[in-house]
C-alpha cells in the first residue's frame, strides 16, 4: 500500500532536522538523533530509576521501568536500536515507558557500549551480561526470574536474537520466556527484494547501513560471525517463542521474515506481523501504527508472561 502520509511528513521533518550521518561529526549526529526521539511525549510510569550492573568487561548502565506496585512482575530486557552506533536510555525513554505500561511488566533498558568506540562484539557481551544479571537478580527488581523476556528493535533486535541463542547455548536457568524482535537487523543480506527496493528514501538509508557496519565491525569477516548475523545459524531449536514485527518499506523486512520462517521450521513458535504503509523505525513515531504495534507487543507479552491478555 502507499506510504502513510503521516510517515511521509515525519521523514520530511527528519531530513530537515538531521543531516545524513556521513555529512556531520558523529557526536553531533548523536545529539540530534537523541533530541528528536527523546523529545516525544512521555507517559507516566509508576517508578523509573537508573542502576549500574556488573558485566564481564565493564559496568553496564540500565534504566528500569516499573509499571505498578507489587512483586513477581514479568521483565522485558530491552536493547535499543541505532545501528550499534546511536541511541541510549534517554533516546529510548519514551518508547520504554510505553512498553512498560502496555506489557504490564518491568522494562530494563540496556545502555550497551556503542561503536566505533567499542567494536563488535562489545554490544553483544553487554547485552548478554545484562540479561544474565536480570535472570539472577530479578527479585531485587520486584520481578520473577521465571517471567523474563528479551526484546529490541533494529540493531537491538539483532542483539535480542543473539542473546536468546546465547542463553540457550549456555544453559541459563531459568530460561527466557519470549523474544520480541521489532524491525530487527539479522545479518548479511545482499540480494533480497526489500534491501534492493527500500534502501533509499525510507528512513534507513543504504549509506547509513554501510556506515554502521564499518563502525561496528573490526574486519569484513566479522559479518559472517553468527553473533552479528544470527540468520546464519541453522540450529535454532529450543529458543523462546518469538514475535517479529516488520515494516513494508523497511530494507530489513525480508531477512526478518526469513528468520521467522527459520524459527518455525526449527519448531520455535514464531509470529510475524508486517505493518504496511510504514518504514523502519515507525514504532517510535507519533502515529497510530506505533500505538497498534506497542499494543501488540503488550498483549503478546501479557499472554506469554501472565497467561492473560
The set of catalytic residues is: 154, 250, 280
Distance between CA 96 and CA 117 in Å, rounded?
25
Backbone φ/ψ region at 55: left (φ over 0), alpha (ψ -120 to 50), beta: beta
What are the cell numbers at 137? Answer: 537478580
User: How many angstroms from the chain centroid is the CA of residue 292?
Assistant: 17
Spell out the SS3 assignment of the chain: CCCCHHHHHHHHHHHHHCCCCCCCCHHHHHHHHHHHHHCCCCCCCCEEEEEEEECCCCEEEEEEEECCCCCCEEEEEEECCCCCCCCCCCCCHHHHHHHHHHHCCEEEEECCCCCCCCCCCHHHHHHHHHHHHHHHHHHHHCEEEEEEEEEEECHHHHHHHHHHHHHHHCCCCCCCCEEEEECCCCCCCCCCHHHHHCCCCCCCCHHHHHHHHHHHCCCHHHHHCCCCCHHHCCCCCCCCCEEEEEEEECCCHHHHHHHHHHHHHCCCCEEEEEEEEEECCHHHCCCHHHHHHHHHHHHHHHHHHHCCC
Q: Is 8 buried (19+), middle (13-18) or exposed (0-12) by CB count in 10 A?
A: middle
Distance spanning both ends of the chain, measured CA to CA: 30
Amino acid at each position: 500500500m502507499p506510504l502513510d502520509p503521516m510517515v511521509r511528513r515525519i521523514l520530511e521533518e527528519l531530513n530537515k532536522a538531521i543531516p545524513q550521518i556521513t555529512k556531520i561529526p558523529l557526536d553531533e549526529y548523536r545529539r540530534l538523533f537523541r533530541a528528536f526521539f527523546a523529545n516525544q511525549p512521555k507517559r507516566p510510569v509508576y517508578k523509573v530509576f537508573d542502576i549500574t550492573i556488573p558485566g564481564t568487561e565493564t559496568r553496564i548502565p540500565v534504566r528500569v521501568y516499573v509499571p505498578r506496585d507489587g512483586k513477581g512482575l514479568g521483565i522485558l530486557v530491552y536493547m535499543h536500536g541505532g545501528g550499534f552506533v546511536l541511541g541510549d536510555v534517554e533516546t529510548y525513554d519514551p518508547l520504554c515507558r510505553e512498553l512498560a505500561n502496555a506489557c504490564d511488566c518491568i522494562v530494563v533498558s540496556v545502555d550497551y557500549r556503542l561503536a566505533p568506540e567499542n567494536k563488535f562484539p562489545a554490544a553483544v557481551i553487554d547485552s548478554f551480561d545484562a540479561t544474565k544479571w536480570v535472570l539472577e537478580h530479578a527479585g531485587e527488581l520486584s520481578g520473577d526470574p521465571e517471567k523474563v523476556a528479551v526484546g529490541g528493535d533494529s540493531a537491538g533486535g539483532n542483539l535480542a536474537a543473539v542473546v536468546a541463542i546465547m542463553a540457550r547455548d549456555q544453559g541459563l536457568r531459568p530460561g527466557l520466556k519470549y523474544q520480541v524482535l521489532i524491525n530487527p537487523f539479522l545479518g548479511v543480506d545482499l540480494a533480497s527484494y526489500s534491501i534492493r527496493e527500500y534502501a533509499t528514501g525510507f528512513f534507513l538509508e543504504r549509506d547509513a547501513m554501510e556506515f554502521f557496519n564499518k563502525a561496528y565491525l573490526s574486519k569484513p569477516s566479522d559479518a559472517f560471525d553468527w553473533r552479528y548475523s544470527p540468520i546464519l545459524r541453522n540450529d535454532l531449536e529450543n529458543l523462546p517463542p518469538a514475535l517479529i514485527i516488520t515494516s513494508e518499506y523497511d530494507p530489513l523486512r525480508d531477512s526478518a521474515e526469513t528468520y521467522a520462517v527459520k524459527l518455525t521450521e526449527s519448531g520455535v513458535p514464531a509470529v510475524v506481523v508486517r505493518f504496511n504503509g510504514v518504514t523502519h523505525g515507525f514504532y517510535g513515531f507519533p502515529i497510530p501504527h506505533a500505538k497498534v504495534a506497542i499494543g501488540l507487543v503488550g498483549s503478546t507479552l501479557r499472554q506469554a508472561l501472565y497467561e492473560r491478555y
